[in-house]
């Protein structure tokens, strides 16, 4: 039997069954709306041949979807948390679709870079909406499950994108623009789906937001847990975005591996990431919190990121991607759940703190491809450059050691069962 929770208007009531229609639709549109930025590595050889890109320009393109996010994530989190989540989500999905087509039509490097920067702002704009929708619709006990589902949909979307991208590239005679147009039309469908099914919860929409007279920006300095997890995310995203950008090119040049094969192997990560989040939930319960699992995750992600550069033996690579994918998928549960567990946190403060954490994610994602691109250009050794970026997730282990022992524990979750009414 469903337990009651306190909605934003202070009324204790049963969670609405429609909450899962709204939240699953948001998960689907938000997660699949991101993956267009991740398949650059598959399209990059064709782009390079067409536009004559240098290694450093390739690095800039790999970082581009996070450049604007680094600067605007916190201001957008503060500003957009004032508005209705459904409206913000609709506008960001439509804008993201426009910038996908802008990429496909780009005549040269500069326009392509600008289009990718603008495209990267769309998912950032949806983060405040995600936090507010979660607050409106879900009891706290369901938030880890929600984040696990979001993680699963994202993982499956990544798999589909990496498997489809090289096949679409082949269907369009190695023209990188064709797959982008296909993804653009798919994004139109996602936007229409959200318009049809997305809803704000009328019982939980405005009061907790409007009652916050104090600036939510001050909350950034009240808690250390988001900063620690965010620093770990810097290392995580450095390795991930460097791999997404350069690994297909590296395997093609070093071992003669086809883009279809490398796309399939990277797609394995998506499927396993989908499972990793759910694996984290019972592990977290047995470990008494997030701290110990995060210590292990950092070592595993770093080790698998480096080992994937040393062989082209398919069974070994599949095993590495499975193990690394489980750790990556598990990492997203604490990353997306911790803001909801902070004592005394209020809705707009959650949005701003999550924006800070994602800003750190964007920073790592920018540094990874840029570091690899410039190191390759200066040393001529792409493997060495990727080993450097691949070691960065050890930052997760280092920062996790500084977290409170009970962060993410069931006791802490139970103690904050009811959403804060602001």
**CA proximity to 272, closest of 216, 317, 223, 218:** 317
For 240, phi then psi, to 5°, come to: -65, -50
Quick check: helix, strand or coil at residue 5? Answer: strand
Cβ atoms 130, 23 nearer than 8 A? no
The per-residue b/e assignment along 187-226, b for 16 or more CB within 10 angstroms, e otherwise, is beebbeebeebbbbbeebbebbbeebeeebbebbeebebb
**Residue range 192-246, pLDDT digits in tens:** 999 999 988 866 544 444 444 444 556 566 778 888 888 998 999 999 889 988 9
Cβ atoms 259, 169 nearer than 8 A? yes
What global pTM score does this model have? 0.68
In this predicted structure, the answer to whether residue 401 has a pLDDT above a threshold of 80 is: yes
> Residue 12: beta bridge partners?
6
DSSP state of 35: G
pLDDT of residue 217: 57
CA dihedral (357, 360, 366, 367) in degrees, to 10, reads -150
- pLDDT class for 247, splitting at 50, 70, 90? very high
Average pLDDT over residues 248-274: 85
Which are the contacts of 418, defined by CB distance < 8 A and separation ≥ 6?
A: 5, 6, 139, 140
CATH T-level topology, domain 16-415: Growth Hormone; Chain: A; (1.20.1250)
**Residue range 11-25, pLDDT digits in tens:** 445 677 888 899 889
Please report, for the chain, the start and end positions of each structural domain, with discontinuous segments joined by +.
16-415
- How many angstroms separate the CA atoms of 273 and 236, rounded? 14
**Residue-wise DSSP of 45-108:** HHHHHHHT--HHHHHHHHHHHHHHHHHHHHHHHHHHTTS-HHHHHHHHHHHHHHHHHHHHH--S
> Residue 6: beta bridge partners?
12
CA angle 387, 368, 233 (to 5 degrees): 100
For the chain, helix, strand, coil in percent to 5 are 80, 0, 20
> Residue 13: beta bridge partners?
5
In this predicted structure, the answer to whether residue 31 has a pLDDT above a threshold of 90 is: no
Which are the contacts of 412, defined by CB distance < 8 A and separation ≥ 6?
A: 289, 341, 406
In this predicted structure, the answer to whether residue 9 has a pLDDT above a threshold of 50 is: no
Quick check: helix, strand or coil at residue 357? Answer: helix
Higher pLDDT, 181 or 224: 181
pLDDT of residue 13: 55
Burial class (CB in 10 A: 0-12, 13-18, 19+), 355: buried
How much is the mean pLDDT over the chain? 81
pLDDT of residue 409: 58
- How many angstroms separate the CA atoms of 100 and 79, rounded? 24
Cα separations (Å) of 374 from 25, 66, 363, 369, 381? 40, 18, 16, 9, 10
């Amino acid at each position: 039997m469903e337990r009651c929770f306190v909605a934003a208007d202070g009324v204790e009531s049963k969670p609405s069954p429609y909450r899962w229609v709204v939240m699953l639709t948001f998960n689907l549109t938000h997660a699949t709306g991101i993956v267009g930025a991740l398949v650059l590595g598959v399209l990059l050889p064709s782009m390079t041949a067409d536009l004559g890109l240098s290694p450093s320009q390739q690095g800039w393109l790999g970082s581009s979807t996070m450049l604007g996010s680094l600067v605007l994530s916190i201001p957008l989190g503060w500003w957009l948390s004032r508005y209705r989540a459904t409206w913000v989500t609709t506008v960001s999905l439509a804008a993201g679709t426009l910038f996908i087509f802008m990429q496909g039509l780009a005549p040269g490097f500069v326009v392509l870079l600008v289009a990718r920067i603008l495209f990267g702002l769309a998912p950032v704009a949806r983060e405040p909406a995600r936090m507010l929708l979660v607050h409106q619709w879900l009891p706290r006990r369901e938030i880890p499950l929600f984040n696990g589902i979001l993680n699963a949909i994202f993982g499956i979307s990544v798999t589909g994108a990496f498997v489809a991208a090289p096949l679409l590239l082949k269907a369009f005679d190695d023209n990188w623009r064709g797959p982008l147009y296909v993804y653009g039309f798919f994004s139109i469908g996602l936007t229409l789906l959200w318009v049809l099914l997305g809803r704000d919860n009328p019982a939980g929409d405005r009061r907790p937001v409007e009652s916050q007279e104090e600036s939510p920006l001050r909350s950034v300095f009240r808690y250390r847990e988001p900063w620690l997890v965010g620093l770990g995310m810097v290392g995580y995203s450095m390795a991930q975005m460097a791999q997404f950008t350069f690994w297909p090119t590296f395997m093609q040049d070093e071992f003669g591996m086809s883009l279809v094969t490398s796309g399939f192997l990277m797609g394995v990560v998506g499927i396993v990431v989908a499972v990793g989040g759910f694996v984290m939930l019972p592990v977290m319960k047995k470990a008494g919190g997030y701290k110990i699992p995060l210590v292990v995750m950092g070592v595993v992600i770093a080790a698998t990121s480096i080992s994937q550069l040393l062989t082209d033996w398919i069974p070994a690579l599949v095993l590495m991607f499975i193990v690394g994918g489980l750790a990556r998928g598990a990492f997203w549960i604490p990353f997306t759940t911790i803001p909801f567990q902070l004592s005394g946190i209020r809705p707009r403060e959650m949005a701003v703190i999550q924006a800070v954490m994602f800003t750190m994610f964007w920073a790592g994602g920018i540094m990874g491809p840029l570091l690899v691109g410039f190191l390759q250009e200066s040393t001529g050794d792409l493997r060495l450059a990727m080993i450097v970026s691949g070691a960065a997730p050890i930052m997760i282990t280092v920062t996790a050691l500084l977290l409170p022992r009970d962060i993410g524990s069931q006791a802490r979750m139970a103690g904050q069962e009811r959403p804060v009414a602001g």
